[in-house]
Amino acid sequence: MVQNGYRQIIGLVLPGELIGMCARHNAVGVATTTTLTEVVTCPVPVSDPTDERSGLSQAYAVSAALEEAYLCRQITRLGRMSASERLADWLLEVHDRLLLAGIASRDEFELPLTQELIADVLGLTSVHVNRTIKLLRDSGLVTVGAKRVRIQDRKKMERVVCYSPVTVVA
């Protein structure tokens, strides 16, 4: 919560993603984490920090790089995109992240967020999110309903927001 009582969601942790990993000593907690669905957690093995070539160290490095890239995208969304661009870009990103975890189909995914929560992610009002969903639907880009999203025309949606998936260079 910000001082005036508004909430700004700065990021989402999706199934299959790591949470609570921090490479910095004496890290400061600046955000809280709340679950929206049932969650199963497990401790992660500790990697040898001196062996940067181990598979585990590389996996953690990739996870940290992706987390940073998603945060940078969120900053860009909030600072430079219109409401329809924010929503389209964010839906494409969520879809890509769920595909990476193996829990989305080629054009559809589950999204158990209310329009109020989506608004808090995108820095909009829930009324504006509702109007923006209608605009994207009327443009033939997506259908949203029953906590599911279907991307109707991904190529067109990517062109609208100049979207390109996040890739990690090994």
Angle, alpha carbons 46-48-51 (nearest 5°): 145
- Domain edges within the chain: 1-170
pLDDT for the residue numbered 162: 93
How far, rounded to the nearest angstrom, does the alpha carbon of residue 97 sit from its chain's CA centroid?
7
**Per-residue pLDDT tens for 42-83?**
887 776 767 767 778 788 888 888 999 999 999 999 999 999
Amino acid, single-letter form, for residue 65: A
**Per-residue pLDDT tens for 94-152?**
999 999 999 999 999 999 999 999 999 999 999 999 999 999 999 999 999 889 999 99
pLDDT for the residue numbered 91: 98
Task: Return the closest-CA partner of residue 91 out of 32, 46, 13, 150.
Answer: 150
DSSP per-residue string spanning the chain: --TTS-------PPTT---S---STT---------SS-----PPPPP-TT-TTSHHHHHHHHHHHHHHHHHHHHHHHHHH--HHHHHHHHHHHHHHHHHHHT-S-SSEEE----HHHHHHHHTS-HHHHHHHHHHHHHTTSEEEETTEEEES-HHHHHHHHT--------
The third-level CATH classification (topology) of the domain covering 1-170 is Arc Repressor Mutant, subunit A (1.10.10)
